[in-house]
Every structure is written in structure tokens, then in C-alpha cells.
Amino acid sequence: MVHPGALLKSSFLATRAFFRLPARVSAPRPVAISSAPLVVVVPIRSIGPSHAERIAAHLLALEPRDRYLRFGYSASDEQVRRYVAGLDFERDEIFGIYNRKLELIAMAHLAFCTDPELMSCAEFGVSVLAHARGRGYGARLFDRAVMHSRNEGVQMMFIHALSENTAMLNIARKAGATVERDGSETEAYLKVRPADLDSRVTEMLDEQIAQTDYRLKVQAKKFWDFLALLQEIRQGVRDSRRI
């Protein structure tokens, strides 16, 4: 467990960069806490129905190959929109990582089973935009989903993926999941440990930090949008004087 003080410190350090001029790289920069051991905090927040349009934009922005791996078939734009429209935000949990431009660059869907005999089971799915790869966001989202599953009384997490989706299956293996391949498809399942005070407090702090991080990003974006508008107005005034 990351000490609560370390989490709060990382949140404070991360906010200092929000009001600097946005760089071309749009992915959030993780914050390192102290020198040893190295701890990196990536704000991951729970997403509600008000973010449905951003979820759709994220999935529609996936490259054809990535969309194929995420859904298990070459989903059309219309099929993606139907998937988003069918999300049950009351039952399931959606987690996301936003960059400074408020673009949803990575998201996970933890779907709880509706079968009365399998109420203690949940299925995990994840997607990361191409330009945000290589930062471990998929694994971080998986860890977040595991923690939430523990606190919700889930006993088994499942991942159904194409066998060629090696990135997703590697995440499952590293977490200790049992992976069984059946031709072109693979099933992975992870036995989830029961919740304890540690898991409940950690999830509460993680969510609070992520919500604070998002609000600061909203404020920073409004600030830079306002400055950009002022620059456009000033440029317009200069141009009119030259006429």
C-alpha cells in the first residue's frame, strides 16, 4: 500500500504543473514520490454517465486494430455508439485517465455479472489510445479495478480476450491470473482477495486524489482557453489597425 501521506504529497506536486503552458505531449506525467523506493501515482477516477460522450470519443479514436482487440471484432462506429449507450453506470464501474486537455486517453470497464448464481464475479476490459501507450496505464487500470472488486465483494475477475491480445493477457498473468487459451480466444480469471481496511482506505484516497486532479485540470484548461481567446482578440485589434 502507498502511504496516505505519499498520495497526498503526489497530488500536491502534480498540481504545480497544471498552470504551465501545455506542451505538445498530451499525456499526464506521473509523479515520483521521494527517491527510494520510486512510487508513481497516476490519477484514475470513476466515470459517470455525464462522461458518456468522452467515452464514445475515446473508443471511436481507437485505431482499427486496437478497436478489434478491445471488442473482439471489427466494431463499426455505430456498434461502438450502441455499446456506450448500453453502459449501466449504476451497476458497473468505469475508470478513466485524463490528460491535461481533458482527453480520455485510457479507460476500463468493470462489468458485474447479473446472473444470481454468479453475483460475486466481474469482467474487465481496457483500452488505451495509441499515443498514450508504454506508460503502464493498462496495468494501473487493472490494479484499480481489482481493488474496487475487493471492496465490492467480488471473488473472481474474468478477462475474455483474443489470444493475439498479448498486452492484455500479460497484464493478467503479472497479476497472478490463470490464463487458459482456446484457439483464437483466451480466458483469464483472477481470484480476488477479500476487502480489508487497507484496501478500503486506499481506494477512498485514490478516488479523492483523482477527482481533485480532474477539477484542477478543468480549471487549468479554462485558464489557457481564456488566454488563447485574449490573444486572438489582441491579434484581431492589431490586424484592424494595419488596414
pLDDT tens track for 36-61: 455 567 899 999 999 999 999 999 99
Q: Which three cell numbers stand for residue 189?
A: 480469471
Taking a C-beta distance cutoff of 8 angstroms, is the pair 107, 12 a contact? no
CA distances from 119 to 22, 59, 111, 154, 157 (A): 45, 28, 11, 8, 11
Please compute the mean of the pLDDT values over residues 218-229 and round it to a whole number: 77
Q: For 90-102, how does the pLDDT look when each residue is reduced to its tens digit (9 = 90+)?
A: 999 999 999 988 9
User: Whose CA is closest to 82, among 56, 111, 110?
Assistant: 56
57-80: average pLDDT: 95
- Residue 1: the pLDDT is 47
β 185-191/39-41 pair status: unpaired
How far is CA 32 from its chain centroid? Answer: 19
Computed over every residue of the chain, the mean pLDDT equals: 84
